């Protein structure tokens, strides 16, 4: 949309909406997912299903990888590392979107659909 709608070509400058939202968001997502993974390794195994622990941890690490590769891609802007970082980052993003319907993250979409359906029933 920014490229074709507004004529703003990538890479974007530091004072642009994609960078102003993406840079702090990526740093916070890295910190949050690293902290969550650490807490998950310290949690009481009796509190959750041991059968799903590996899948949950893999999803948290996938979120970390998406944000870390995005930050690495930003740091590598203008260098030859972009050539191999970009496909890795886009592959992680694609993997995230393909796996989301099979994880707990899909709850947000179902909840939104339920709220919209409930709002449409009310007069």
- Burial code of 92-106, b = ≥16 C-beta within 10 A, e = fewer? beeebeeeeeebeee
pLDDT in tens, 54-108: 888 999 999 999 999 999 998 998 899 999 999 999 999 999 999 988 888 888 8
Domain count, the chain: 1
| Total residue count of the chain as it appears in this document | 123
Asked if the model's pLDDT at residue 45 lies above 90, the reply is no
Domain that holds residue 101: 2-121
Q: What is the 3-state secondary structure (H, E, C) of 60-92?
A: HHHHHHHHHHHHHHHHCCCCCCHHHHHHHHHHH
CA 83 to chain centre: 21
pLDDT tens digits, residue range 10-33?
A: 777 788 888 888 899 999 999 999
Cα distance between residue 3 and residue 102, in whole Å: 32
Structure tokens belonging to residue 101: 């319907």
**8 A C-beta contact, residue 83 and residue 96:** no
Greater model confidence, 5 or 91: 91
């Amino acid at each position: 949309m920014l490229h074709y709608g507004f004529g703003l070509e990538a890479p974007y400058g530091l004072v642009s909406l994609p960078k102003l939202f993406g840079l702090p968001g990526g740093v916070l997502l890295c910190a949050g997912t690293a902290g969550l993974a650490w807490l998950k390794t310290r949690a009481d195994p009796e509190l959750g299903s041991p059968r799903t622990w590996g899948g949950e941890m893999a999803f948290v690490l996938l979120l970390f990888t998406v944000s870390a590769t995005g930050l690495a891609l930003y740091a590598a802007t203008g260098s030859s590392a972009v050539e191999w970082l970009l496909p890795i980052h886009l592959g992680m993003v694609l993997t995230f979107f393909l796996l989301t319907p099979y994880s707990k993250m899909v709850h947000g979409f179902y909840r939104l659909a339920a709220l919209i359906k409930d709002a449409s029933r009310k007069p």
